[in-house]
């Protein structure tokens, strides 16, 4: 056993770091502190990566992947996290892309994979419904065959960033009489500009609009947009969820977050000393780092398993649970570190009495400005992507055999 | 031992419950919080009319002769409705300073105006580099003739946009962290040189950064003894903490009830999610933490007039336990609500946010744990 990187991997890290240094769009800055990002911002780095051939590192080489080993991919994500780079959204790259190249037909691959690689096409995920959250298989949106079209009716919800999306991948019920709820569901690609698709924003507790309700009324979709076989969508959805989960651990980003936290706690003062030298606070930061180290090695072990040909299995639920708990603890500690300057509401504060006309101004140190909203926002991570309760249920059944 | 409330206290509670229900249904609160004013002077007037603003003052001072338990009753109801009107800054803080240390003339001038609702206060004590330490003060008040001249910057002064007057802590002598040399002043917010930058807060209130630029106040603005205000500040802020603990209890109670209710109604896998034992036990833990919080809030409130050490131990115990419980209950409430908990539309998110910010007011868990250790 050996934890050290090989000389080749060290050289690879160097290459990656130099590339990021030279090419990461400077105007994006440290995106870990920003919430006012627009579609162009997300796409900016993706485009550069697409040109370099690095936008879909994990894909098979024949579809434009890099052929990097899991370790190289890991180094890649670490180096991006170092500058808090705004990474390509997962919906295209890590979710629908792998489904299309694994289960899609040649036309679908030709039509969709290039846009995902280049960042030109923005995807969203249409799984959840008001009545179908954790119990996803109970979804009700229907797709009824009518000649060479499906006619889709129903309501999806929590569709992340659908307001920017060109395409979505939707789970729809194509056989309402199937014996089990998991059967009779199909995986359909939907052009979001099709008539009958209506996207309504939902405001979240952090004040942002990242999710939407998506209403589908007599939406006509060509049957060519069915991926794989009709009524087999659940298989593809599960395949995709395992991919979604492994990305969710967010180790590299949390490591960067801990560094930032140390910086903040180095500036904040307690009794005339930096907060970071306070034993109570330092203990909490170290606890976080210890948990993060455990998660990191667990993820590397999972990666090594993948390298040896094992797909991400139920162990990825461990990564999801611990990864999100750490992210939440990290943002909570960051909020604690900034003290009372976590209290002001930043962002859209046009209605400020006595200051009409001016939109925003900084209150307190820069690093405090998003501490509260980020903490509020990160509560989502233990809810989405299969809630942490559901992950524990998976481990209960699949690993413990209970 | 007696944990019962008096008949009058029960009546006050009933009246307030009704008032909060009428004025603070969720949609109305959302509208108020998002409005330019961010509060409702008419609700304040109604509170004055109900006698709520005069409750903790003695009859001699123009109040109704109540005390900390009365404030507790009020604040718990406010917590249930997430009321934003500045009862703590005005009645508990400013009222506390005046009650304990005001001269007859100061009481005469201010308490009546608090009781009838015509004067609203904010308490400007925190500074950007002070972090929960009332003695770590850069704001100065220099004697100049018969006046004091104030200079400094106070941060996140809750309720200041609505206030007509400020209670300000400032250093009249000594070095930045000395425990001596601290004084308290009452300052008219419209005085020359008081500059404010107002903003909303994440938990639905409004606050200001307050700058004092050569603000001249007369000698009569000094409350209590010059240079010896730290014990007074600690006493008043302990009273404020006890009041806010009661508020947090109210908010926790509602957050817990809403969560249990939601878990009864929300069905997944063909059953209400409240049937899942893993969620049941977690709601039991929330409930247990709430009950423990109520107990320590009683303890803190009933010890406010005890000797200094007893008082501080009780108040810090409450602040530690409630800080932890507030985080725990808020987080679990969101988790059990699933995606719905993340929306701005549902009230539960607002309870979560208020409970989050509660911890950082008047000293967080670590701060009060240290104070508890130091006294033990
Ligand atoms: C910010 C955000 C972004 C999202 N983005 C997307 C997206 O892009 N596309 C998409 O399709 N969906 C998305 N989702 C939806 C997400 O996948 C669901 O919120 C999630 O599956 C949980 O479903 P729910 O919200 O209906 O909660 P519910 O299923 O109602 O769960 C409520 C609570 O009950 C618990 N619970 C439920 N069942 C069990 C059980 N059997 N055992 C124990 N506990 C249980 C849950 O863990 C949770 O704590 C997003 C959600 C959020 C919050
Ligand atoms: C030191 C000691 C002294 C005792 N003294 C006495 C005595 O004087 N007289 C006497 O009559 N008995 C006595 N007991 C027995 C005691 O009451 C039992 O141990 C207890 O009721 C638990 O039963 P069990 O050991 O069979 O565990 P089990 O009932 O088999 O439980 C095993 C585990 O499963 C959990 N569990 C069981 N049911 C549920 C459920 N529905 N939901 C969730 N979790 C569940 C339990 O909490 C426990 O963690 C004593 C036990 C001990 C250890």
- Dump pLDDT digits (tens) for B238-257: 999 999 999 999 999 999 99
- Give the C-alpha separation, A315 to A383, whole Å: 18
pLDDT score at A31: 64
pLDDT score at A247: 67
pLDDT of residue A55 exceeding 70, the answer is yes
Our mutation pick for probing the ligand 1 site, out of B265, B338, B341, counting the most ligand atoms within 8 A of Cβ, is B338
Q: To the nearest 10°, the Cα dihedral for A267, A272, A274, A275?
A: -100
At B323, the pLDDT band (50, 70, 90 cuts) reads: very high
φ, ψ dihedrals at A238, nearest 5° = -70, -40
pLDDT of residue A399 exceeding 70, the answer is yes
Contact A271 B133 (CB under 8 A): yes
Find out whether A211 and A160 touch, Cβ atoms under 8 Å: yes
Tokens 């409430």 correspond to B333
pLDDT of residue B152 exceeding 70, the answer is yes
Residue A314 neighbours by CB distance under 10 Å: 16
pLDDT score at A245: 62
Residue A311 neighbours by CB distance under 10 Å: 11
Once rounded to an integer, what is the mean pLDDT over residues A278-291?
97
Our mutation pick for probing the ligand 1 site, out of A134, A140, A168, A386, counting the most ligand atoms within 8 A of Cβ, is A134
> How is residue B304 annotated by DSSP?
T
- Give the C-alpha separation, A161 to A159, whole Å: 6
Nearest CA in chain B to A283: B366
- Give the C-alpha separation, B340 to B349, whole Å: 9
Residue A244 bears catalytic tag: yes
Find out whether B85 and B47 touch, Cβ atoms under 8 Å: yes
Find out whether B351 and B259 touch, Cβ atoms under 8 Å: no
Find out whether B101 and B41 touch, Cβ atoms under 8 Å: no
Neighboring chain B residues of A207 at a CB cutoff of 8 Å: 344
Q: Which one has a higher pLDDT value, A276 or A70? A: A276
For the complex shown, is ipTM > 0.90? Answer: yes
pLDDT score at A356: 39
State pLDDT tens for residues A128-184. 999 999 999 999 999 999 999 999 999 999 999 999 999 999 999 999 999 999 999
Find out whether A128 and A157 touch, Cβ atoms under 8 Å: yes
Of the ranges A26-30, A33-37, B294-298, which is most confident?
A: B294-298
Our answer on whether the CB atom of A133 is closer than 6 Å to any ligand 1 atom is: yes
At A302, the pLDDT band (50, 70, 90 cuts) reads: confident
Nearest CA in chain B to A380: B342
Once rounded to an integer, what is the mean pLDDT over residues A197-211?
93
Least reliable range by pLDDT among A215-219, A303-307, A350-354, B259-263: A350-354
Closest-CA residue to B185 (of B177, B194, B176) = B194
At A246, the pLDDT band (50, 70, 90 cuts) reads: low
- What token pair was written down for B212? 């004092």
Closest-CA residue to A190 (of A211, A214, A217, A170) = A170
By the 10 Å C-beta count (0-12 exposed, 13-18 middle, 19+ buried), A18 is classed as exposed
Q: What is the DSSP string of A197-218?
A: EEEEEE-BTTS---EEEEEEEE
Percent of chain B with pLDDT over 70: 100
At A313, the pLDDT band (50, 70, 90 cuts) reads: confident
By the 10 Å C-beta count (0-12 exposed, 13-18 middle, 19+ buried), B166 is classed as buried
For B20-146, where are the E strands, in sequence order? 121-124, 140-144
Once rounded to an integer, what is the mean pLDDT over residues A40-51?
91
- Give the C-alpha separation, B138 to B177, whole Å: 9
Strand partners, B201: A344
CA distances from residue A251 to A4, A77, A265 in whole angstroms, order as listed: 18, 9, 21
């Amino acid at each position: 056993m050996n934890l050290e990187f090989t000389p080749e991997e060290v050289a690879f890290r160097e290459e990656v770091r130099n590339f990021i240094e030279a090419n990461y769009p400077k105007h994006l800055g440290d995106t870990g502190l920003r919430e006012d990002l627009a579609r162009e911002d997300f796409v900016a780095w993706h485009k550069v990566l697409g040109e370099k051939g690095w936008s879909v590192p994990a894909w098979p080489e024949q579809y434009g992947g890099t052929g990097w080993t899991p370790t190289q991919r890991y180094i890649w994500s670490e180096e991006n996290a170092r500058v808090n780079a705004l990474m390509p959204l997962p919906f295209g790259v890590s979710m629908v892309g792998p489904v299309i190249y694994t289960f899609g037909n040649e036309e679908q691959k030709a039509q969709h994979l290039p846009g995902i690689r280049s960042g030109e096409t923005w995807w969203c995920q249409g799984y959840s419904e008001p009545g179908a959250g954790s119990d996803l298989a109970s979804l009700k949106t229907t797709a009824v065959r009518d000649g060479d079209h499906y006619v889709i009716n129903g309501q999806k919800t929590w569709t992340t960033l659908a307001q920017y999306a060109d395409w979505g991948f939707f789970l729809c019920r194509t056989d309402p009489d199937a014996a089990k709820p998991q059967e009779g569901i199909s995986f359909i690609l939907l052009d979001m500009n099709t008539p009958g698709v209506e996207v309504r924003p939902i405001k979240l507790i952090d004040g942002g609009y990242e999710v939407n309700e998506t209403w589908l009324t007599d939406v006509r979709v060509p049957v060519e947009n069915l991926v794989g076989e009709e009524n087999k969508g659940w298989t593809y959805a599960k395949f995709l969820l395992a991919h979604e989960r492994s990305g969710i651990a967010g180790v590299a980003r949390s490591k960067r977050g801990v560094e930032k936290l140390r910086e903040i706690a180095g500036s904040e003062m307690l009794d005339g000393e930096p907060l970071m030298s306070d034993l109570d606070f330092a203990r909490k930061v170290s606890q976080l780092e210890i948990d993060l180290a455990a998660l990191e090695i667990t993820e590397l072990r999972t990666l090594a398993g993948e390298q040896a040909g094992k797909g991400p299995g139920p162990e990825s639920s461990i990564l999801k649970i611990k990864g999100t708990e750490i992210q939440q603890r990290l943002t909570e500690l960051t909020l604690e570190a900034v003290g009372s300057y976590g209290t002001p509401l930043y962002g859209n504060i046009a209605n400020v009495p006595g200051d009409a006309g001016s939109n925003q101004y900084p209150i307190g140190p820069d690093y405090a400005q998003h501490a509260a909203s980020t903490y509020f926002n990160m509560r989502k991570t233990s809810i989405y992507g299969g809630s942490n309760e559901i992950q524990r249920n998976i481990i209960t059944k699949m690993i413990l055999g209970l | 031992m007696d944990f019962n409330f008096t008949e009058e206290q029960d009546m006050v509670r009933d009246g307030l419950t009704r008032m909060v229900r009428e004025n603070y249904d969720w949609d109305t609160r959302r509208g108020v919080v998002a409005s330019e004013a961010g509060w409702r002077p008419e609700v304040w007037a109604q509170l004055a009319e109900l006698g709520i603003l005069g409750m903790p003052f003695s009859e001699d001072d123009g109040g109704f002769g109540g005390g900390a338990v009365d404030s507790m009753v009020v604040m718990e109801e406010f917590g249930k409705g997430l009321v934003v009107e500045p009862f703590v800054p005005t009645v508990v803080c400013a009222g506390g300073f005046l009650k304990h240390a005001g001269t007859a003339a100061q009481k005469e001038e201010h308490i009546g105006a608090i009781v009838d609702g015509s004067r609203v206060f904010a308490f400007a004590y925190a500074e950007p580099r002070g972090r929960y330490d009332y003695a770590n003060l850069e704001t100065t008040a220099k004697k100049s003739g018969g006046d004091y001249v104030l200079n400094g910057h106070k941060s996140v002064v809750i309720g200041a946009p609505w206030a007509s007057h400020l209670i300000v802590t400032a250093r009249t002598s000594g070095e930045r962290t000395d425990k001596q040399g601290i004084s308290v002043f009452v300052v008219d917010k419209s005085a020359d040189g008081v500059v404010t930058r107002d903003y909303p807060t994440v938990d639905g209130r409004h606050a200001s950064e307050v700058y004092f630029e050569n603000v001249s106040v007369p000698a009569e603005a000094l409350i209590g003894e010059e240079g010896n205000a730290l014990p007074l500040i600690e006493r008043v802020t302990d009273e404020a903490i006890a009041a806010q603990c009661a508020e947090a209890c109210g908010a926790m109670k509602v957050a817990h009830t809403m969560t249990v209710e939601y878990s009864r109604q929300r069905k997944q896998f063909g059953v209400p999610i409240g049937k899942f034992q893993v969620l049941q036990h977690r709601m039991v833990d929330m409930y247990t933490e709430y009950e423990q919080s109520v107990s320590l809030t009683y303890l803190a409130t009933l010890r406010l007039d005890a000797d200094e050490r007893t008082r501080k131990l009780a108040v810090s115990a409450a602040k530690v336990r409630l800080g932890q419980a507030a985080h725990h209950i808020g987080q679990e409430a969101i988790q059990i609500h699933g995606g719905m908990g993340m929306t701005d539309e549902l009230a539960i998110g607002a309870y979560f946010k208020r409970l989050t910010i509660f911890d950082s007011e008047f000293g967080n868990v670590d701060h009060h744990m240290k104070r508890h250790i130091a006294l033990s």
